[in-house]
Chains A and B, each alone.
Chain A
Amino acid sequence: MSTKPAALYHRIVVWALFAMLLLPLLGTFLYSISTSWSATVLPDGLTLKWYIQLWTEPRFLNAFLQSILVCVGALLLATVLILPLLFVVHYHFPKLDGLMNVLILLPFAVPPVVSSVGLLQLYGSGPLAMTGTPWILVGCYFTIALPFMYRAITNNLLAINIRDLMDAAHLLGASTWKAALLVILPNLRKGLVVSLLLSFSFLFAEFVFANLLVGTRYETLQVYLNNMRNSSGHFSSALVISYFFFVLMFTWIANRLNRDRG
């Protein structure tokens, strides 16, 4: 009997939340396509000129590309490192999982403003001098992505019985390498894709590290956005909306790719 009002209530909550999240975005969008909008309830007129201005601005395009490069670089590094690591931990040393969970949380335990100072000290001089280069950002982003990816893929690994699967594959003639590649890896795809996505959206929006570690020497999208804060609000709005749609599209495509097959 209580299902109907409850369902209605649930629906209202979901829609209210949705509206709450969407409203600022809608406002920003409207602002980004208006000629001017100050003393009136609705904008004076509509225009696409802010978008045209944005997408023909070489500095923006460069920052956009550099953001993508840094994120992709960091995620590649994370993937290449974390897949073998997870395999070894869960197959050979399951007891290490507890230790790994603690290690994995370290990047969260230290606030970015503090750890970036540490990173600057470490990488400021000596053989590892790479402050101001995108490499330090790749290295730093990699540590941020690590926990997301480790957790998500671990969940996938726990859902399969890795030891029995490896044993079965071995008895059917597969080497450890082949078994890992053909039997274990395909089952981690979901966790891998989801965590890559999450990390990408997160890193793409990262500002503190990018600003402190590299700043204008290698301008990422968020740093650029910050530097543009004194320009027209319409222009910044166009930037934010463009950025939002990029992440949305990216998420949607990845979701589609992930849905095909089992």
Chain B
Amino acid sequence: MSFLSIQKLDKRYGTTSIFTGIDCEIARGEFVTLLGPSGCGKSTLLRCIAGLTDVSGGRILVDGQDIVPLPPQKRGIGMVFQSYALFPNMTAAQNVAFGLRMQKVGKTESDKRVVDALAMVELGEFAARYPSQLSGGQCQRVALARSLVTRPRLLLLDEPLSALDARIRKLLREQIRGIQQELGLTTIFVTHDQEEALTMSDRIFLMNAGQIVQSGDAETLYTAPVDAFAAGFIGNYNLLDACVAEALLRRTMTCRIAIRPEAIGFGGDIDAQIKGHSLLGNVIRYRVEARGVELVVDVLNRSAADLHATGTLVGLSIDDSAIREVA
């Protein structure tokens, strides 16, 4: 039986429905990501689970117990916010101690647990600093320590890394995942960043417009998108309507197809012309026109000598097994 079970969850604001009939099952100790574009209802779903907003219908079971009637204080859920939500009038240590203070944990034990929690996020020496004296990444680690020190049964993270710069984001990603695995903590991580979702999660729930469109591990989501939205949102797929695909592949097509940009290679019999390129670090992304169809092609950036200049005529090959039909 799953640890967290969301059944037929509805949420409306007045007459606007944010989502209806959300179902999902999460196992104990699992790290799942809610991935979706901004405004699709990720935060609202998380706030429903945390009890920060009322649900309009449905059940949320944790360990078999329906938590919908419980106030947020009684749910045993920890949460980390994009804005950090650190209490500005308290030091890092006081922030972390706040939950224990509310639970009336004794001073000696509280002090020890605060020290441990700050050590876990490697901020031991910053205990006496106020949030205004910490960097964004440090703030978010304090917030993480604060949400973990009360030993929640479920950890919710709402775009915790979105306000941070790329390098810190990568470091923190690993740190969060490491701590989660060490504690075996059931975790829901919300993001709109596909790379974050693909690298961190045991399982990904892809959301769009209040619906869970697809769920599965990173491999499945990346290689087998169920529909055009999934294909467009993950992995920069080339999405081609049936008639366009027919022109490109010169065979009959019955529905829309998706081709990953790295499944197209240079050196084949499809005539094409380079329209431009951009450098994405170890990958070069070309815009190419082949048989009147615009395509995106990713190739490894081996050496500058291999670079195809704009206007160059090339041949393309498309791996047949990489062509996916999508609804």
What residues of chain A have their CB less than 8 Å away from a CB belonging to chain B? 160-161, 164-165, 167-175, 178, 182-183, 186-187, 262
Contacts and interface: CB of A to CB of B under 8 A. Distances in A.
Given A160-B88, A167-B85, 20 more contacts: A164-B81, A164-B85, A165-B87, A167-B50, A167-B52, A167-B72, A167-B81, A168-B81, A170-B52, A171-B50, A171-B75, A171-B77, A171-B79, A172-B98, A172-B150, A173-B102, A174-B102, A183-B87, A262-B89, A262-B130
A175 B74 CA distance: 11
Contact of A170 (B72, B83, B87, B150): B72
A158 B77 CA distance: 27
A168 B85 contact: yes
Contacts of B103: 173
B225 interface: no
Contact of A165 (B73, B79, B85): B85
Contacts of B132: 262
Interface string B64-89: 00000001110101110101010111
Contacts of B160: none
B41 interface: no
B146 interface: yes
8 contacts: A167-B85, A171-B72, A171-B78, A171-B79, A173-B73, A175-B73, A186-B89, A262-B88
A183 B88 CA distance: 8
A240 to B, nearest CB: 40
Chain A CB count within 10 A is highest, among B50, B52, B71, B73, for B73
Interface of B: 47, 50, 52, 71-73, 75, 77-79, 81, 83, 85, 87-89, 98-99, 102-103, 130, 132, 143, 146-147, 150
Contacts of A165: 85, 87
Chain B CB count within 10 A is highest, among A171, A175, A183, A262, for A171
A33 B85 CA distance: 57
Contacts of B47: 167
A170 B98 CA distance: 11
B113 to A, nearest CB: 13
A167 B80 CA distance: 10
Nearest to A261: B89
Contacts of A167: 47, 50, 52, 72, 79, 81, 85
Given A168-B81, A172-B150, A187 B88 contact: yes
A205 to B, nearest CB: 33
Contact of A187 (B71, B81, B89, B143): B89
Contacts of A171: 50, 52, 72-73, 75, 77-79, 147
A161 B84 CA distance: 10
A215 to B, nearest CB: 45
Across the A-B interface, the 9 shortest Cβ-Cβ residue pairs: A173-B102, A172-B99, A186-B89, A164-B85, A168-B85, A170-B72, A164-B83, A173-B73, A164-B81
Chain B CB count within 10 A is highest, among A165, A172, A183, for A172
Contacts of A186: 89
A239 B73 CA distance: 58
Contact of B73 (A174, A183, A262): A174
Chain A CB count within 10 A is highest, among B52, B81, B89, for B89
Contact of A172 (B71, B83, B88, B146): B146
Contacts of B102: 172-174, 178
Contacts of B87: 165, 168-169, 182-183
A168 B88 contact: no
A242 to B, nearest CB: 38
A160 B84 CA distance: 11
A170 B103 CA distance: 12
Nearest to B78: A171
A172 to B, nearest CB: 4
Nearest to A175: B73
A83 to B, nearest CB: 15
Nearest to A165: B85
Nearest to B82: A164
